[in-house]
Amino acid sequence: MKRAIFPGSFDPITLGHFDIIQRGVTLFDELIIAIGINADKKYMFPLEKRKQFIEEVFKNEPKIKVVTYKGLTVNFCKEIDAQFILRGLRNPGDFEFEKAIAHTNRKLSEIETVFLLTSSGKSYISSSIVRDVIRNNGDYTGLVPDSVRV
């Protein structure tokens, strides 16, 4: 079984994330959306709300599971027997950042990182931009799945 995780904070899930997940699920037998817990990070949405947003979006996709985890992503991959990490790339900056993480993960374990380019119409969307739009009472509905309503 080809099992992959798509790790992130998903604060909140965006249409960019949705794009990568929707395309990534076709590549694997199981795709686990793994919400990382970082005690040092300040989130806009509580963990359970972020998980709820994602579960609602993919409630009809049996190949997708949503879980939370702490610690190193490669250790979590070992725990659940995932052979792949799925990551999305929006721009060259993402590539450089993600490449360093992928090399480190490969050094720490035998995990393979699979990169997908975000669709061009969604490459500008990031969770930080969405949070800024929400904080400033802007219309964020074209940036997130329908389940994300505040």
Residues belonging to the active site: 17, 41, 90, 127
What letters, b where the CB count within 10 A reaches 16 and e where it falls short, cover 120-129? Answer: eebbebbbee
Name the phi and psi angles at 37, rounded to 5. Answer: -105, 120
Handedness of CA 33, 37, 42, 44 (dihedral sign): positive
* Other beta carbons less than 10 A from residue 53's beta carbon: 21
Using the CB atoms, write b or e for 6-23: b if 16+ within 10 Å.
bbbbbbbbbbbbbbbbbe
